[in-house]
Amino acid sequence: MPRTKGSKNRPKTTHTDYASQIAEKQESITSLTAEISSITANIDTLKADLKEKKTALKKAEKEVASLEAKKAKADAKAAEEAKKAEAESVVKRLLASGMSADEILEKLK
């Protein structure tokens, strides 16, 4: 004969006090609902903070990009002025050594 499935040692439940069980479950439901609402409020405030931080980040990145562009422009201008000053000094040196303007132009090309 096959064995029956399940444990024979399980205690029999004879609880007929459903009112107390219902009250316990309702208390847990209200506490969970309160926790959910507080977590939702916390999430909403964190989302607002995140949005503010992202806008501040975008603004800072734009400022950095514009400053980098200004720096590059200033560096290019300084390099151009340095080249100009160097060319002028070379021309002055060549003129001082006794070269004519036509010979200097030939050398610069």
pLDDT for the residue 20: 87
Please report whether residue 3 resides in a domain: no
Please report whether residue 12 resides in a domain: no
Digit-coded pLDDT (tens) for 37-86: 999 999 999 999 999 999 999 999 999 999 999 999 999 999 999 999 98
pLDDT for the residue 21: 87
The answer to whether the Cα torsion of 44, 45, 47, 51 is positive or negative is positive
pLDDT surpassing 70 at residue 10: no
For 3-30, what is the mean pLDDT?
79
Provide the residue range defining the domain that includes 47. Answer: 18-108
Contact between 90 and 105 (Cβ < 8 Å): no
Please report whether residue 7 resides in a domain: no
Please report whether residue 79 resides in a domain: yes
* Average pLDDT value for the chain: 87
Residue that wins the pLDDT comparison between 79 and 99: 79
pLDDT surpassing 80 at residue 12: no
Nearest-5° Cα angle at 92, 89 to 98: 145
21 Cβ neighbours under 8 A, 6+ residues apart: 15
Nearest-5° Cα angle at 44, 42 to 47: 110
Please report whether residue 13 resides in a domain: no
pLDDT surpassing 70 at residue 23: yes
| Total domain count, the chain | 1
Distance of alpha carbon 83 from alpha carbon 77, whole angstroms = 10
72 Cβ neighbours under 8 A, 6+ residues apart: none
Contact between 3 and 9 (Cβ < 8 Å): no
pLDDT for the residue 89: 86
Please report whether residue 24 resides in a domain: yes
Please report whether residue 27 resides in a domain: yes
Please report whether residue 6 resides in a domain: no
